[in-house]
Structure 1
Amino acid sequence: MCPTAIRRLILVPLAAASLLLAACAPHPREWKTPNMTALAPRLQPLFEKTKTVCFGRFMVDVPASASVVWGSTGVPLGVTVYHDGVEEVKGLAQKFIDELKSEQAIYLNNIPLLISVDDIRQPEGKIVTGYDGFEAIGLLKISGYFRMNSDGFIIDARPLEEQKDEVIADIQSMARRLRQRADDEAPAEPGNCLERAFLPDSPDDEKNHPGEFISIGFRLKEFPDAHLSIEVRPTPRDPERASLKAQWKRMKEPLTPEVDEVFAKVKYFRESPRHIRDWTTGYEVLMRAPDEKGVHSFHDFELRFTGVPNDPFKPYASVQLQTGVGNNAAGSTKASLTDEEAIAVWDRITSTIRVRPTSLKPVESTDTGPRLPLGELAATGRTCPQTGWWEHDAPGPTGDSRRRHFRAGERMPHTVAIGEPSIWQKLKGERPSYRTATVWKLVSYDDAPSVADVIAQPTSIAQNALPDALSNDATNTRHEAGHGVGDQSNKKG
């Protein structure tokens, strides 16, 4: 096995995701790791001036000289902002329209892939809808192109055909709420910080923004080979298997003598649980990869939290720091930070990641009177009249749990049904899903579920409409924001 292949075996699993989150206190103190490394004299000027960067629902303090590089965003639909890019966005809209017109759907009597172009007044723009691919078997691609003062922005979705109207409504809602944001602004209202923009939460959301995905990177001006990246995404279905501890354990299992020899040369600084306030316990691995032929030794630090299902303030989160990065590959150049300096930089930055304080008010409960009798019914769209466990009896196999816990005042959601696949979908190993209205029945007054009883929420229209980069668990960043050695520097459009 060649050194490059061995290097990939070591790095790829570590280069997964990025970010942390933690305390919900309005004014959290700096979080400390055990035996936090002090700043060496060479690093002290680096942290004399810092800046707070808002990303998604979170914040982090980094050196004032650090550059910020945004990666993929889905809140829950994909949003890309183009600074002073009104004309650029118009050009991309026309290019998309021309491409859809020029291609045909072979399973729909060779009609053009373009379905519709809708002009929007508020905000100014248009929404383009077309079939996603020449086979055209029920999957659409819908993109909204809008103007926001001097900036342009695009909202992308890939929904099922029966979700078309709902997704277009979601795009219009997001477009109306999106506003420009200064780089140093951290809004006090609930919502998501994006690149040069802020998306306030909608009071009409069926639930609290499922499927949120944010990735961001930082480059230290004084140490340009040091790249730190942060990523948050929904908690995976199998959190334990996705944990860094489990992944690292699998990696260290005996493979081949060649790989085992490389692992024997790895220098470990930390490999232990990491707890940050009331955040769920995560796992931290700090190591330095050895020199190989054509590859310099470099630091590879990762901190990962598997999160709490359906909690946007405690999602899956991963933070990663690598040194010796050149041309988006760790080890391409010699690391400019010593071991102690790399650990000190890591400790200083990760200790500041936190939930952004907001003026969020809890949902007002209507559950103040006598309990409603078991068997009470509530249809999709109705406000939940009684805190407790509810079940639906939708026909056919479903993609979500039939039994869920709701609090009084929440809106009763749709359910996700699994349809019969077409021949093409069977060949690809896919099964279609769609949202459907249902009637929920109150079956228990039990309190909210414990961690062990948490039930996965249904796949929402927004999740079905996630951009390709999110649905495939790939970073696919528009900029070189990069998580890990596989970062790509993709140009806009």
Structure 2
Amino acid sequence: MTHWFRNGLAKLLAGIVIVGLTGAWAFGEVREKRETARRDEQEVARMTKGMKTVCIGRFLLDMPEEARLELVRPRVDGFDISSFDEPEADFRNRLAQREARLRAAPDRLGGNKNLESVREVKTENGVSGKIFVHSRNVAEGTRLRGQELERYRDEGVAVEALVHGQGMSFDVSASDYDPDLIENLPTLVAKLVPNPENRAPSESGFCVHRAWFRDPLSAGQGEEIIMRAGLPNHPDMQFMLILAAGNKPDRQSLLERSAETDAKLSAADRMHVSNLREAPRTISGIAGDELITRFAEKNDAIVYTFWWEVNGTADNVLLPHLSFTMETGKSNNGPVPSSLSQDAAMALWDKISSSIRLRPTQERKPVAAEPPPTQLGTYALAGERCPESGWWLCGDGGKGVGVLGGQRQYIRKGERMPQALLLPPQTLWEKLRGMQPSYESKNQTAWKLVDKRNRKRVPSPVPLAPATPVAAAGISGSGIGPRIMEEQGVAVGSFAATGVPCPASGWWRCEDPRALDGTRWFAQGSLLPSATFVLPPGAFGRPAHGARSIERRGAWRLVRLADAPRQAGSGDGPGA
């Protein structure tokens, strides 16, 4: 009896201990979960205390200040778009090198017509550069159509715009584009507006990385962009927003696809998947579907996927296909436990996703078009306002009759064009008396704009770096005049860099305003020289009697085609 009592008492005590330990463990688990939930709630509050607004396509989204994000794969009208910081001098060098490479590359037949056209770009939005059409490809042959053979020929060309504005460069290109539609590119580039600060514009249009395209853009142009983002303190979390306009809506909605997928899961898989939310959700007046799913991975990691999707329309850029997702538990080595608890992750999702909205816009105020620049050769009569600052050639005088102030005079824009005071030859008596007769023509003096330089051409104080002659460069440039150069696509305004064979004979201006070179004449085929800069006495530790100049690589811009430094009737420089 005593033995039985003792055994029973021992079992009772053991049971009490086990129950106590189990209760303590369960209490500890509950306490730890509460502490984790409280900590995660505070973390979400900290992250969302400061938010930044991001413009993505035509939409705005508020993300935590600490979020690191990028806008990738923008595409409009079949053109890929990239934007990046680049100093203008570096851009000009890259542009010249790109043009030289395209000219040097053989075409599909092994000839020298790979570069089909070059077009200068300068838009009202402060963007300038060039558009290249090159690398035509042709596929032709015969194919069976029904019971008959038909001949086909498919052609495509590469088109690319390399442009720059406000310290940023933009490359807009397509590698295989319909030759009949290449005018789409200059039309699109004309709508490009640099946005270095990534501020949301007030006008309607399509935002990309640090730039935007001004409307009108149609749904048929298929604008697309993707935003990817992450949180530094939660590396397992990833965000993605996909926008694509002009696409035919999917046959099934997000919820319909989810239901179909769940129906195919095995009983074992269903134990690892649970949908926390699965219902339509309207955000900022936009109807979509929301799906929030909890996954128990094979390594016991609990992760979450948050998804909101709008099926979109095919004909409305303001209602594109839209997919926004947030995922937890991501890593390069497979799934890891979510760094946020379920409630905290859902709170963060609700905060961010509820901020999705169309960007409000205002109608663009009309801007008065700037008058076109005054062309060389323009005439102005005495008494009229000078239309352009520069050197003007007096139409009176000549054959021994001088003009007070000189035959060529510098007149500033807005000043009254003067009536020339003519100085006929002095008689012997007038010379002896020191008298100079003068008179004015009864007709208004006509002045011709011959040069836009703001000062006379003067010799450089130090020798300039010479161009390598055509013969030494091993390139023949004989028999190529300005008209032929124009037909070959070497347009005024073209750029070339130091060391590149000069594309066309003519006057080339050094683009670095600090250089001594100014505007110089180079023969086609000669290797363009370095730019020359004055070296102040004592600079770099040199004595005052040391080197007076240094040379650096530079960019050159064609300002006038000319077979020789002086041509009949051309005056003495590029502005004549």
TM bin, normalised by shorter chain, reads 0.5 to 0.7
- Supply the RMSD in Å over aligned alpha carbons: 3.3
Matching residue of 2:211? 197
SS in 2 for 1:349: helix
Q: 1:306 aligns with which of 298, 311, 314?
A: 311
The letter of the residue matching 1:82 is F
**Residue 186 in 1 paired to residue 188 in 2?**
no
Aligned partners of 1:89 and 1:154 also within 8 Å: no
Aligned partners of 1:39 and 1:344 also within 8 Å: no
1:303 to partner: Cα distance = 0.8
Matching residue of 1:159? 177
Matching residue of 1:46? 47
Q: 1:273 aligns with which of 266, 272, 280?
A: 280
1:53 to partner: Cα distance = 1.3
Aligned partners of 1:100 and 1:130 also within 8 Å: no
**Residue 336 in 1 paired to residue 342 in 2?**
no
The letter of the residue matching 1:182 is E
Aligned partners of 1:148 and 1:180 also within 8 Å: no
What are the superposed Cα offsets for residues 443-490 of structure 1, whole Å, 9 maximum, x if unpaired?
xxxxxxxxxxxxxxxxxxxxxxxxxxxxxxxxxxxxxxxxxxxxxxxx
1:349 to partner: Cα distance = 0.1
1:71 to partner: Cα distance = 1.2
Q: CA–CA distance in 1 between the matches of 2:309 and 2:103?
A: 41
What are the superposed Cα offsets for residues 303-329 of structure 1, whole Å, 9 maximum, x if unpaired?
1001233221111101011112234x8
Q: CA–CA distance in 2 between the matches of 1:238 and 1:198?
A: 26
SS in 2 for 1:343: helix
**Residue 230 in 1 paired to residue 237 in 2?**
no
Q: Counterparts of 1:92-131 in structure 2 under 5 Å?
A: 94=97, 98=101, 102=105, 104-105=107-108, 113-122=114-123, 123-131=127-135
Matching residue of 1:81? 83
1:109 to partner: Cα distance = 7.5
Instruction: Say if 1:90 and 1:171 are closer, same or farther in 2 by CA, change over 3 A.
Output: farther
Q: Whose strand proportion is higher, 1 or 2?
A: 2
1:209 to partner: Cα distance = 7.1
1:347 to partner: Cα distance = 0.6
Q: CA–CA distance in 1 between the matches of 2:103 and 2:310?
A: 41
Instruction: Say if 1:124 and 1:332 are closer, same or farther in 2 by CA, change over 3 A.
Output: same
The letter of the residue matching 1:179 is P
Aligned partners of 1:299 and 1:323 also within 8 Å: yes
The letter of the residue matching 2:190 is S
Q: Counterparts of 1:57-456 in structure 2 under 5 Å?
A: 57-76=58-77, 77-84=79-86, 86=88, 87=90, 91=94, 94=97, 98=101, 102=105, 104-105=107-108, 113-122=114-123, 123-131=127-135, 135=139, 137-157=154-174, 158-164=176-182, 166-174=183-191, 177-183=192-198, 185-202=199-216, 207=218, 210-241=221-252, 243-254=253-264, 261-279=268-286, 281-292=287-298, 296-327=301-332, 331-360=334-363
1:133 to partner: Cα distance = 5.5
Aligned partners of 1:73 and 1:79 also within 8 Å: yes
Q: State the identity as a percent.
A: 23
1:57 to partner: Cα distance = 1.3
Unmatched segments (≥5 aa) in structure 2: 1-38, 141-153, 365-576
| TM-score between both structures, scaled by the size of structure 1 | 0.55
| Greater C-alpha radius of gyration | 2
| TM-score between both structures, scaled by the size of structure 2 | 0.48
Q: CA–CA distance in 2 between the matches of 1:121 and 1:49?
A: 40
The letter of the residue matching 1:317 is L
Aligned partners of 1:267 and 1:288 also within 8 Å: yes
Q: Which moved more, 1:57-66 or 1:245-254?
A: 245-254
Instruction: Say if 1:118 and 1:172 are closer, same or farther in 2 by CA, change over 3 A.
Output: same
Aligned partners of 2:223 and 2:246 also within 8 Å: no
Matching residue of 2:28? none
Instruction: Say if 1:112 and 1:313 are closer, same or farther in 2 by CA, change over 3 A.
Output: same
What are the superposed Cα offsets for residues 126-182 of structure 1, whole Å, 9 maximum, x if unpaired?
212224657593122211001112111111234212212x224324423xx422241
SS in 2 for 1:43: helix
Q: CA–CA distance in 2 between the matches of 1:201 and 1:130?
A: 28
The letter of the residue matching 1:269 is L
What are the superposed Cα offsets for residues 97-137 of structure 1, whole Å, 9 maximum, x if unpaired?
737954653xx677765433334345331212224657593
Unmatched segments (≥5 aa) in structure 1: 1-37, 362-493
SS in 1 for 2:345: helix
The letter of the residue matching 1:54 is C
The letter of the residue matching 1:127 is I
Q: CA–CA distance in 1 between the matches of 2:56 and 2:96?
A: 27
Q: CA–CA distance in 2 between the matches of 1:325 and 1:222?
A: 13
